[in-house]
Chains A and B, each alone.
Chain A
Amino acid sequence: MSDEKPPQEYQSGESALERVQAMTRFTPLAQALGIEITRFERGRVWGKVPHREELVGDPETGVIAGGVITTLLDHLCGTAAVSGMKIPVPVATIDLRIDYMRPATPGQDIHAEAHCYKLGKSVAFVRAVAYDDTPDNPVAHAVAAFMVNSNNGRKMGANLRKPKS
């Protein structure tokens, strides 16, 4: 999704789930955390981050770090925004609010589902919930806004150059 070539409509032969999964595959952080996209509908995605010792936030209790849940929710919200687009363009988080309802059960995978309930020309609005058991017993809830087409006007590698003062 660089600016080097014009954005294209999804290939019809490509499964919708595969192209949403590809977005996660090309995100180094999502790969490092092991985030998986398990299900997809236009504007809605389901995913999980499998439990790993490295992701624990409190070694005494073994509870997963709040930051992992922040990252999972941010990533799934962004994916949900892109999944609702006819022509996929990059998005960037404008703001993200997360309410933590309870600590995650130690040793459990964290699941999440995100819904982009309004996809505008410039801004996408998304909400998401994270849980380890069922969505009715959430660990955390998120509301986020995303800038649509965040790379607009910036070429590949734009962030590697010195900023204009």
Chain B
Amino acid sequence: MSTPQIRVAEAIARIPYARFLGLRAELKGDELTLVMPFAPHLIGNPVLPALHGGVVGALMEVTALTQLAIASKAEKFPKTIDVNIEYLRSGRPLDTYARARVVKIGRRIANVQAEAWQNERSQPIASLHGHFMTPEADEPSV
């Protein structure tokens, strides 16, 4: 039988870019945590070294999309309208985690917030606020 955990893991595994980032999904109840294990190709600043802002953004975006797909019980991934990313701390060369909270699912647009952290949940390295097309609104209305 296909549990939600397996379905999410399969959905993530089907995304080539999620594989490129090495993302792994953990689902507790209906709350998803994405894990991005550290890998040398994720570095943006080799001097410090620090993770590239782009991969931290991508991690939170995939988390937001997947959490929204779970919350709206959609089969397909929603489409991104916009994301607003705030970088709070430099990403250390460590495993990074992300969780998202669906603030509101409207008829056409959903509002989702996500956060990424490393060793300490209380010390986020970045946060994302995004708007996404709700999957139903995406269908042709004719």
Complex Cα spacing A156 to B79, Å: 40
Q: Pick from B18, B82, B87: contact of A98, CB below 8 A.
A: B82
Q: Taking A92-B90, A95-B85 as contacts, is the C-beta distance between A29 and B17 under 8 angstroms?
A: no
A65 touches B82 (CB 8 A): no
**Residue-wise interface mask of B (1-45) relative to A, using a CB-CB cutoff of 8 A (1 in contact, 0 not):** 000000000000011111111000000000000000000111111
Does B55 interact with chain A (Cβ within 8 Å)?
yes
B53 touches A96 (CB 8 A): yes
Taking each of A28, A55, A150, which has the highest tally of chain B beta carbons within 10 Å of its own beta carbon? Answer: A28
Does A151 interact with chain B (Cβ within 8 Å)?
yes
Does B142 interact with chain A (Cβ within 8 Å)?
no
**Residue-wise interface mask of A (50-63) relative to B, using a CB-CB cutoff of 8 A (1 in contact, 0 not):** 00011111110000
A55 CB contacts on chain B under 8 angstroms: 16-17, 20
B58 touches A68 (CB 8 A): yes
A28 touches B41 (CB 8 A): yes
Does A99 interact with chain B (Cβ within 8 Å)?
yes
Closest CB-CB distance, A75 to chain B, in whole Å?
Answer: 6
B17 touches A99 (CB 8 A): no
B55 CB contacts on chain A under 8 angstroms: 29, 67, 71
Which label, helix, strand, loop or mixed, suits the secondary structure of the A interface? mixed
A27 CB contacts on chain B under 8 angstroms: 43-46, 52
Mark out the residues of chain B between 103 and 141 whose CB falls within 8 Å of any chain A CB in the assembled complex. none
Q: Taking A57-B17, A160-B93 as contacts, is the C-beta distance between A93 and B53 under 8 angstroms?
A: yes
Does A70 interact with chain B (Cβ within 8 Å)?
yes
Complex Cα spacing A58 to B55, Å: 17
- In this complex, the interface size class of chain A, counting residues with CB under 8 Å from chain B, is 35 or more
Q: Pick from B44, B46, B86, B93: contact of A95, CB below 8 A.
A: B86
Complex Cα spacing A159 to B119, Å: 13
Does A87 interact with chain B (Cβ within 8 Å)?
no
Q: Pick from B47, B52, B84: contact of A71, CB below 8 A.
A: B52
A68 touches B57 (CB 8 A): no
Complex Cα spacing A59 to B12, Å: 11
B positions within 8 Å CB-CB of A: 14-21, 40-50, 52-55, 57-59, 61-62, 65, 77, 79-87, 90, 92-93
Q: 29 A-B residue contacts at CB 8 Å?
A: A27-B46, A28-B42, A31-B41, A54-B20, A57-B15, A57-B17, A59-B15, A64-B17, A66-B61, A66-B80, A67-B57, A70-B54, A70-B83, A71-B57, A71-B58, A74-B57, A90-B47, A92-B90, A93-B85, A94-B86, A95-B85, A95-B87, A99-B82, A100-B79, A150-B45, A150-B90, A154-B48, A156-B47, A157-B48
